[in-house]
Amino acid sequence: MPKPLEAIEESRRALLVWALASGVFAGTAMLAGRRASAQVLGKVPKPLPPGQSFYEVRGAVKVNGQPAARETRVGPNDVVETGKGAQAIFVVGTEAFLLRDQTRLEMKGSGIFVSQMRLLTGAMLSVFGKGNRTVVGPTSTIGIRGTGLYVEAQPDLTYVCTCYGTTDIAAADDPKAAEQVVSVHHDAPRYVLAKPDKGRRIVPAPFKNHSDLELMLVESLVGRVPPFSLFDEAYGSPRRY
């Protein structure tokens, strides 16, 4: 049975990210092979050219309420929304974002620096450069410092995976219900609950719904690599949902 188109696209992207990370496309001697592979498999993840914000616009994506296209610019005070079945991958300054479908992200900042993000609904995978930033969900406030982060927002809970780096996680309405997470590789996912569970607002959660390959992709768009290796035996195989 043929693979669904979405599965084929994901396989192509996974192979390209693997090739980029392992150095398959490195060196001028491989330039012809790189171009041929890119034509067959799709675009190679790499830093976006000046003036380009979007790497991918799939389905109904809006910026400040207006339909978005690949050439649409995104700034640090914009609102990005995705409809049902849609996905958006974009860069603002030194930050890169992957928004799942039915997601609304409100950003605040200055210049090219995003200092605060409000995730009202949906799911966001994001990677950040140096500096302190805040992500606010329906039930949580997350302080971040040079972090890879995956967040899912629901009315009664927020899922937070500190993929790597340091986060300060707190309940939105009770800053005393807080925990600092220091993670190397998805070490301590958490749920932040709207109502206490046995007196706790922040509880352990499983690793879910995002992948190392996606982290490598978004980091590559801002010229970085994650602080782990897909080929390091200490980690085993790449984590997947």
Contact 129, 158 (CB under 8 A): no
Domain ranges of the chain: 1-44, 50-220
- 191: region left, alpha or beta (phi > 0 left; psi from -120 to 50 alpha): beta
Q: Does domain 50-220 have CATH number 2.60.120.1440?
A: yes
**Residue 45's pLDDT is what?**
80
Instruction: Give the length of the chain.
Output: 241
- Residue 48, amino acid: L
Does 109 have pLDDT greater than 50?
A: yes
Question: Over pLDDT 90: what percentage of the chain?
Answer: 73
**Residue 27's pLDDT is what?**
42
**Residue 77's pLDDT is what?**
98
For the whole prediction, is pTM greater than 0.95? no
Confidence band for 13, pLDDT divided at 50, 70 and 90: low
Model confidence over 208-228: pLDDT tens digits? 999 999 999 999 999 999 988
**Residue 146's pLDDT is what?**
85
